[in-house]
Amino acid sequence: MIIVSKVIVVGSINKDLVFNTKRHPIPGETVIGDTHFQFNGGKGANQAVAAARLGASVTMVGAVGNDQYGLEIFEDLKRENINTDYISFKKNQTGLAAITIDEVGENSIVVIPGANGLLEPKDIPNDLISSKDTVLLQFEIPLPTVEHVAKIAKSAGATVILDPAPALTIPESIYQYIDIIKPNQGEAKEISGHDCINKAAEFLLHKGVKQVIITLGRDGAILFNENGQTEFANIKVETVDTTAAGDSFSGALAAALSRGEDIEKAIGFAIKVAAKTVTKMGAQSSLPRINEIF
C-alpha cells in the first residue's frame, strides 16, 4: 500500500470580524472605523488553507459550532480540497475573532474560542497520522489536545511543527514531541523569558527541539539548530494586512516539508508566501495559490 504524505493541521477554526481604522484605540478610547469585513479564519484553518493552496494534501482536525458560521466554514474548507472528515460539530458557538487593522496594516486581535475549546483528545483517532505526515499545531485549542496529538504524531514518526501562538508557558512534557517550533519574536520572548533572540533560541534548543525558527516580521527569519544559525531576509512589499502572515508562513513551511524540501528551502519558500499574503486584505482571502509564488 502506498502511503501519501499529508499535512495534518490540528487547530482552531474561526469566523473573523475585521475592522479597519486609521489607528488602534488606547485603553478607554473610542475611534471611528473605516470599513468592516467578515472572513473565515482561525490559526488552524488558515494554515490548512495555506498549505492546500500550495499543493499539499491537507487534513483539517478541529471543531465548529452547529450554527451558520460553522456550516459556512465547513463547506468552504471542503471547497479548498481539504479533508474535513475530522471536523467536529460542538454545542458551543463557532469561534470568533475581532480584528482591528490600522492604516499601515498592523493588527490587534481578540479571540473567543467557542467550539475550539471543546476539541478533545478523543476527537483525534490514534491511526490518523503516519510516518510520512507533517503535523501542524498551535495554541488556540486546549493544551491537553495539543499534547495528545504531538505525542501520537511523534510515536508515528511524523514531523511535528508547533506554531506557539498565542504565546503561553509551554508544559515541559510537550517539548519532547516537537521537531520544529516557529514563534515570532514576541512569542519567543514570552515563552523563554529572554529578550535576546539568541538566548530565546538557546532556551528552546535546550528543551530538545531540533529546529527553532524565529520570525521577525519585516526583518525576515532566523533558523537555529545544531549547525548554528541561518538568517533569511524578507521580501519588500507594500503591506496591506499582516493578519495571516504568520499562518501563511506556517502553512507554507509544512507544505514544503511534506513534499521533501529541506528546512532551509522550506523557510525560503515560506517567506515568499508570507510576503505575498500581506499584500491583500483578510486571513484566508489573502492566502496565495502555488501559481502566484513560482
Catalytic residue flag (residue 34): no
Collapsed DSSP state (helix, strand, coil) of residue 83? strand
- Which of 123, 133, 179, 247 is catalytic? The answer is 247
Question: How far is Cα of residue 168 from the mean position of the Cα atoms in its chain?
Answer: 15
CA distance 30 to 246: 28
Collapsed DSSP state (helix, strand, coil) of residue 4? coil
Q: Is 84 marked as binding a ligand?
A: no
CATH of domain 7-13+42-93+116-292: 3.40.1190.20
Residues of the chain with pLDDT under 70: 1-4, 294
CA distance 186 to 284: 23
Q: Is 16 marked as binding a ligand?
A: yes
Q: Is 14 marked as binding a ligand?
A: yes
- Residue 72's alpha-carbon distances to 39, 52, 219, 262, in angstroms, are 11, 18, 36, 36
- The pTM assigned to this predicted structure is 0.91
Give residue limits of the domains in the chain.
7-13+42-93+116-292
- Residue 79's alpha-carbon distances to 73, 84, 270, in angstroms, are 10, 10, 23
**pLDDT, tens only, 93-135:** 999 989 898 998 888 888 899 999 999 999 999 899 999 999 9
**What pLDDT sits at residue 1?**
40
Helix pair angle (185-192, 197-206), 10° resolution: 60
Q: Is 215 marked as binding a ligand?
A: yes
Q: Is 247 marked as binding a ligand?
A: yes
CB 249 within 8 A of CB 276: no
